[in-house]
Structure 1
Amino acid sequence: MPKMLKFTRFSLRDFLIAAGPAAIAILATCVLAYWLVDPSPPSAVTLSTGQENSAYETLGKKYAGALARYDIRVVQKPSLGSGENMQRLNDPESGVDIAFVQSGSGEHQAAERSGLVSLGSLFTEPVWIFLRSAKNVNQLTQLKGLRINVGPEGTGVPELFRKILSVNGMEAGDVRLEMLEDTPATVELLAGRIDGLVFSSAPDAPLIQMLLQTPGIKLFDFSQAEAYTRRFPFLSHVVLPRGIVDLGRDLPPKDYHLIAPTATLVAREDLHPAVVNLFVQSAADIHGNSGWFSRRGEFPTASYTEIPVSPAAEKFYKNGQPLLQRYLPFWLANFFERMWVVVVALGALILPLSRIIPPLYVWKVRSRVYRWYGQLRAVEQEIEDVPPEKHAQVYPAQLQRLNDIEERVNRISIPLSFADELYGLRSHINFVRRRIAGLMEKTAP
């Protein structure tokens, strides 16, 4: 039975020898492509948010929850605000991958040099100027001499407020600027120790909601809002509708005109495209509904940002969610989306190899038989034109050599489908043997 199995099983050894180099080449190509394409997103990313009780802090928690569904941990890193976030993105040692940044905080060329990309604008961040109602202020020029908190330098609000003052013909020294963080500044305003404070934030920030409903606190109305947007292209004109805060109490009691930069997500250009895609998809879920200053579907958008938009984000804004992610788990869809070029290339490589390997296998198996034909031919050459005096030596020696060849051929292991090759060789050995035997009879005394 063991001998019979030697002649019936598939010759795995010959197949591996024939297909091995091609398989190794394909495997090496796959490993190289996997390393170059990098289809696996990182398990954690660092998001620089904002101050305590700010809209950025609240949003950071929402994004962390959204990406946690895909097993990606978002490490939230508090900051003073937009200015500090930009500094962190420009510093590779900070460890920050992505951050909330206010429009107007950077320039296109500077962002390109620093390797930063925008994931799009998320929402408008109106400039809120809250004043004690005892101060009758209708124009910004009336702020001269007042104590106004604009927040620490890292928030981005101080620079924005200086720009606003400059177009009103005022210098920063005309207003007594305070640099407290938002929460302490609110306490100071309510205690009457400062005259006003400036925020640039989404309306759902807890401090904004509180101040809009606090008696004795007045919101400044930018009656010249449209003019500001013409002077500063990164600003837009928005209206806080009457009664939007509390319809029952009619808060606010009138429409308020505000100027608003937009909040954007800015990332390093080497952030994994799959993570970029998840952040943009999460942005669509978080910011896609209608709000106080936007219609449904207006945000997120690739507009209102001076920083180049990431190709992965731009693709989402044009085509929506990737097709495969609608039907497959995220990790599998991302793998195919990142590796499709490699799959196509491998298909083009495997197709010709599939036609080459079977003939190679056949040749390898048959070569175990065919190589003995060389030995057989050598025996025939030895008995050609032998001088009569050497017949007695040459013929018996070649006959013994032929017997040795036949014995070794009988030990060849070959698949049953190639048995005809083996039996053909044995018949040819027998043919040469008969020929030698005939010559020996002719030369016998």
Structure 2
Amino acid sequence: MKVKKRIFAKRLIWLSLITLVIISLLYWVFSRETLPPKIVIASAGQGGQYYRFAKMIKEPLEKRLGISVEVLTTNGSVENKELIVSGKAQIAILQFGAVSNDKFYSIAPLYYDIAHIIAKKNSNIKGYEDFKNKRILLGPVGSGYRETSLDILKFRGIKYTEVPVKDVDEFYHLLEKNDEGIDLAIITTGLLNPTLKKILASDKYDLIPFNYADAFSIQSSFYQSLKIPKGLYGNNQMIPQEDLRTIGTVAFLAVGENTSNKLVEGVLKSIYETDLKWKFPGLIGKKKAGQWPLLPIHPAAKKYFNPYEGIGVLANFMESINALKELVFAFILGSYLLFKFFKKLGDEEKENLLSIQKEKLDELLIKTISVEEKITNSLGQKELNDFLKEIAKIKIKGLRELADEDLRGDQQFAIFLAQCDNLTNTLHFLLEKRNA
């Protein structure tokens, strides 16, 4: 009888151990962070900046995570949110204010989405009041383009006729062919959008200011009053001819509520730990992105931008020396005041250095404009090569001397790089034409 009890006890112990191992394995399998077999990024139409940005992070994301990435064309923000909520896409680019902030996590602001209002040449549309009863291209249903357009028109109750389109690609196609049924369009996109730049270069449209931008932004929590800088879209002509007041919001990355930390970290590292900021002018830098008030933010994104948040080192230290708390408090307060004093001095010095570098940047921009004004179709090969070398020197000088992180994240620096690239492309084109 005792032998049977011992055998039963041993079997019970082994069964308990096996059960514990199985439960542990099941817990590990179902609780560990896994990646989907494929990542789908919901972007927008191929002519827009959302699609362009998604294509840029596709390859670095594939290399970092070791799985395939598909860039999905959509009608924009509203559809993109539906796709990540339903699980049909893992990542989406959304326009701040175009969708409600629920059922997803934001992970990073990307760049400013700027409202570009363009009207047909010789249409006598000079400002907001002239929009009344016009045929307006708003954008497809489900797009941030359309949401911003409607917000602008509702601001003063403008009556209009909508020109319907089924998707973003048709939207741009109608503009490129200068469709007679359109008087004006409102395009909310990142600065230097190549498709928009091509449309403006056709000289068939004028950029129109939104002179109520300040009042509009005060009444809206999603938009800011911004400007399109003078000459931003000009090659051989100045577009716009002066700084243009308009409104803008932010394009940001979002993921579903059940997205793993591993995927979020992989996306953020593919953006901020690669050379993407040089390829995509206007991208908001890591430092500013971490301070952006996007809600709700994914826990992994919060940890990535603020790795030391929540560490209670100071609290534990205070508890361990409770008997000396008054002395410690006085020491900490004095240290804090000294820190603030020296930090203020450092900030002032940094601001002075930044101001000096901005002046240098302005000088370099003036030099590029000077070169642009001298470029004509009648120049010889030697002169074109000389200008090409001069632009290269200007760009290299800017990259070497203007090293401040805040300056490099500034819109003006992105414009400087884009201006150098545009002039280089123009000179190469003229050289090829000369050698043909």
Contact 2:78 2:99 in 1 (8 A): no
Structure 1 residues 89 and 290: CA distance shift in structure 2, 3 A: closer
Question: Percent of aligned pairs with the same residue?
Answer: 19
Q: 1:238 aligns with which of 215, 219, 226?
A: 226
Contact 1:302 1:314 in 2 (8 A): no
Contact 1:128 1:258 in 2 (8 A): yes
Q: Is 1:184 the equivalent of 2:184?
A: no
Q: Is 1:278 the equivalent of 2:266?
A: yes
Amino acid at match of 2:148: L
**Could you tell me which residue of structure 2 aligns to residue 98 of structure 1?**
91
Q: 2:292 aligns with which of 303, 309, 319?
A: 303
Q: Which range moves more in the overlay, 308-317 or 219-228?
A: 219-228
Within 1, Cα distance between the matches of 2:275 and 2:206?
Answer: 30
SS of residue matched to 1:106: coil
Within 1, Cα distance between the matches of 2:82 and 2:234?
Answer: 38
**Could you tell me which residue of structure 1 aligns to residue 62 of structure 2?**
68
Deviation at 1:32, TM superposition (A): 4.0
**Could you tell me which residue of structure 2 aligns to residue 145 of structure 1?**
133
**Could you tell me which residue of structure 1 aligns to residue 36 of structure 2?**
42
Within 2, Cα distance between the matches of 1:287 and 1:260?
Answer: 22
Deviations along 1:77-125, one digit per CA (max 9) or x if unpaired, are 2111112112223335xx22221111112333xx0xxx31111211111
Contact 1:49 1:60 in 2 (8 A): yes
Deviations along 1:361-403, one digit per CA (max 9) or x if unpaired, are xxxxxxxxxxxxxxxxxxxxxxxxxxxxxxxxxxxxxxxxxxx
SS of residue matched to 1:303: coil
**Could you tell me which residue of structure 1 aligns to residue 50 of structure 2?**
56
SS of residue matched to 2:142: helix
Within 2, Cα distance between the matches of 1:47 and 1:295?
Answer: 20
Within 2, Cα distance between the matches of 1:258 and 1:187?
Answer: 24
Q: Which range moves more in the overlay, 177-186 or 273-282?
A: 177-186
Amino acid at match of 1:131: A
Q: Which range moves more in the overlay, 161-170 or 47-56?
A: 161-170
TM-score by length of 1: 0.59
Amino acid at match of 2:292: S
List gaps (5 residues or longer) in structure 1.
Answer: 1-16, 321-445
Deviations along 1:116-156, one digit per CA (max 9) or x if unpaired, are 11112111111111111212333323111111111111213
Q: Is 1:82 the equivalent of 2:71?
A: no
**Could you tell me which residue of structure 2 aligns to residue 155 of structure 1?**
143
SS of residue matched to 2:92: strand
Q: Which has the larger radius of gyration?
A: 1
Structure 1 residues 91 and 122: CA distance shift in structure 2, 3 A: same
SS of residue matched to 1:124: strand
**Could you tell me which residue of structure 2 aligns to residue 312 of structure 1?**
300
Deviation at 1:301, TM superposition (A): 4.2
**Could you tell me which residue of structure 1 aligns to residue 311 of structure 2?**
none
Contact 2:43 2:50 in 1 (8 A): yes
Structure 1 residues 251 and 165: CA distance shift in structure 2, 3 A: closer
Q: 1:225 aligns with which of 193, 208, 213?
A: 213
**Could you tell me which residue of structure 1 aligns to residue 183 of structure 2?**
195
Deviations along 1:52-83, one digit per CA (max 9) or x if unpaired, are 22111112211211111131211222111112
Structure 1 residues 153 and 56: CA distance shift in structure 2, 3 A: same
Structure 1 residues 105 and 260: CA distance shift in structure 2, 3 A: same
Within 2, Cα distance between the matches of 1:155 and 1:227?
Answer: 24
Structure 1 residues 310 and 227: CA distance shift in structure 2, 3 A: same
Structure 1 residues 179 and 301: CA distance shift in structure 2, 3 A: farther
